[in-house]
Amino acid sequence: MKRRDFLLASGSVLPALAITRAMAESGHVHHNQGEPTAHERDPQGYTPVHTPNGWTLPHRMVDGVKEFHLVAEEIEHEFAPGSKAKCWGYNGTSPGPTLEAVEGDKVRILVTNRLPEHTSIHWHGLILPSGMDGVSGLTQPAIQPGETFAYEFTLQQHGTHMYHPHADEMVQLAMGMMGMFIIHPKAGEPEPVDRDYAILLHNWAMHPGTSRPDPAVMQEFDLWTMNSKVFPAIDTLVAGSGERVRIRVGNLSMWNHPIHLHGVQFQVTGGDGGRWPREQWRNEVTEIIGVGQMRDIEFVGVPGDWAFHCHMSHHTMNPMGHDLPNTLGVDQSGIEDEIRTLLPGYMAMGEHGMGEHQDHTDSGHMTGPPNTLPMMMGKGPFGNIEMGGMFTVVKVRDGLAAGDFRDPGWYQHPAGTVAQRISGNPDYGQPARRGRLANPASKDLPVPKRQGHQH
């Protein structure tokens, strides 16, 4: 007996019964022979969302109402090993836990305030009574420290949505208060997904040596995060070859983020207004997620390790000093000695680019102020990845079990499919070239290094 039939026969899971019946009535159940789809596998009638580095808030049923309980509170948050901060979040984490429900559900969301100041929660994108919209002062009194408020409404839509405070908003968002609110369509999905990921984009001003984000900063942030983590601490997104994958991305940062995925043309299948009709889907490789927006992208997994990142290059390389002087091409050997009389251990860098930063960090020469991350941290099978912010890897593998989200390790490339060195001579070949070389003498090139940093 298939699991779905068992659930139907036992009648023990009434919501599943209702949803499955709705699916049947709308003609979406067409896999009765053979393997059930992932969509049918789940007793709730949908593929649960997986929040990398995050979690989904359990609910309880109270008189037919799905009841969730969020607690706004100060938390200790780690962006990546080496950088911890006192942030504000929900139920112990930033982002807060993902809320997940089905179109048509009656929900009650209790919100307890354990912050040192008042708060409220706005249900971003939801259609609801004005008084449940969560704008303190406008639609409700603010929730004072120690108080618990109840929000209650019926979900009239489906799609990717968010929640965040609408009280002292600049401070409370800058401190990390936000979460995703995912509503699955009641009638199932014409093209169900096998894996469903949810990622919230954010930015933080963590000044070197400090332990709380600075809410006053408007543009010059130094931590760019997916689900409040920076690479390489962001979980990899795992999928099986041929599986249909959805990544839901929301943006509550202060910048727009052009989110780029390698290896496939994805389809943008939904936005602030839920899942779009099939005719509106479009193929892209980069999709701008505007501030306050949500976008769903979907693709079929192709084997490999594929970068998934914001395309604003500073947003992929974290604690950049944005006011650094440009030292490209500057011989700093003299000034290094002079500065060392004032700052022992100072190392001049940047003459040949910033890539050597990682080598200095690895060798222990460049330790930042306390509680700061090096600019670029990730290690790959071929060397430094030189990323450190809104960057992670989509790892697609053959033969992964459904629901297995464990990191499968680095991709084993089939023989002959990796770019390789064919010469070490800078004057190799006769490449077409226009214009004049600034530095034609190949002997002036820095000595190539393969692994680590030699002294």
By CB under 5 A, name the binding residues for Cu ion. 257, 310, 312, 315
In angstroms, what is the minimal distance from the CB of 128 to Cu ion?
30
Q: Work out how close the CB of 320 gets to Cu ion at its nearest, in angstroms, rounded to a whole number.
A: 13
Alpha carbon distance, N-terminus to C-terminus of the chain: 67
Closest approach of Cu ion to the CB of residue 219, in Å: 12
Q: Which is nearer to Cu ion, 102 or 259 (CB)?
A: 259
Between 126 and 310, name the residue whose CB sits nearer to Cu ion: 310
Of 316 and 361, nearer to Cu ion (C-beta) is: 316
Q: What is the 3 state secondary structure string of the chain? A: CCHHHHHHHHCCCHHHHHHHHHHHHCCCCCCCCCCCCHHHHCCCCCCCCECCCCCECCCEEECCEEEEEEEEEEEEEEEECCEEEEEEEECCECCCCEEEEECCCEEEEEEEECCCCCECCEEECCCCCHHHCCCECCCECCECCCCEEEEEEECCCCEEEEEECCCCHHHHHHCCCCEEEEEECCCCCCCCCCEEEEEEEEEECCCCCCCCCCCCCCCCCCEEEECCECCCCCCCEEEECCCEEEEEEEECCCCCEEEEECCCCEEEEEECCEECCHHHCEEECEEEECCCCEEEEEEECCCEEEEEEECCHHHHCCCCCCCCCCCCCCCCHHHHHHHHHHCCCCCCCEECECCHHHHHHHCCCCCCCCCCCCCCCCEECCEECCCCCCEEEEEEECCCCCCCCCCCCCCCCCCCCCCCCCCCCCCCCCCCCCCCCCCCCHHHCCCCCCCCCCC
Report, in Å, the least distance between residue 263 CB and Cu ion.
20
Query: At its nearest, how many Å lie between Cu ion and the CB of residue 315?
Result: 3
Q: How far apart are CA 245 and CA 265, in angstroms?
A: 12
Residue (118 or 260) nearer to Cu ion, CB: 260
The residue (of 288 and 300) whose beta carbon lies closer to Cu ion is: 288
Query: Nearer to Cu ion by C-beta: 237 or 317?
Result: 317
As measured in angstroms, the least distance from the Cβ of 200 to Cu ion is 13
Toward Cu ion, which CB reaches closer, 26 or 313? 313
Q: Which is nearer to Cu ion, 59 or 315 (CB)?
A: 315
Residue 23: Cβ-neighbour burial (10 angstroms; 0-12, 13-18, 19+): buried
CA distances from 322 to 140, 278, 349, 407, 428 (A): 41, 43, 15, 33, 37
Q: Which is nearer to Cu ion, 77 or 315 (CB)?
A: 315
Q: How many CB atoms lie within 10 A of CB 102?
A: 21
In the complex, minimum distance from the CB of residue 312 to Cu ion, in angstroms, rounded to a whole number: 4
CA gap 130, 132 in Å, rounded = 5
Amino acid at 309: H
Smallest distance from Cu ion to CB 261, Å: 14
Query: Toward Cu ion, which CB reaches closer, 124 or 257?
Result: 257
Cβ at position 250, least distance to Cu ion in Å = 13
Least Å from the CB of residue 196 to Cu ion? 23
Nearer to Cu ion, 166 or 257 (CB): 257
Count Cβ atoms within 10 A of the Cβ of residue 246 and give its class: 0-12 exposed, 13-18 middle, 19 or more buried.
buried
CB 40 within 8 A of CB 8: no
Q: In this complex, which beta carbon is closest to Cu ion, that of residue 158 or of residue 315?
A: 315
Measured from the CB of residue 257, what is the shortest distance to Cu ion in angstroms? 3
Closest distance to Cu ion from the beta carbon of 84 (Å): 23
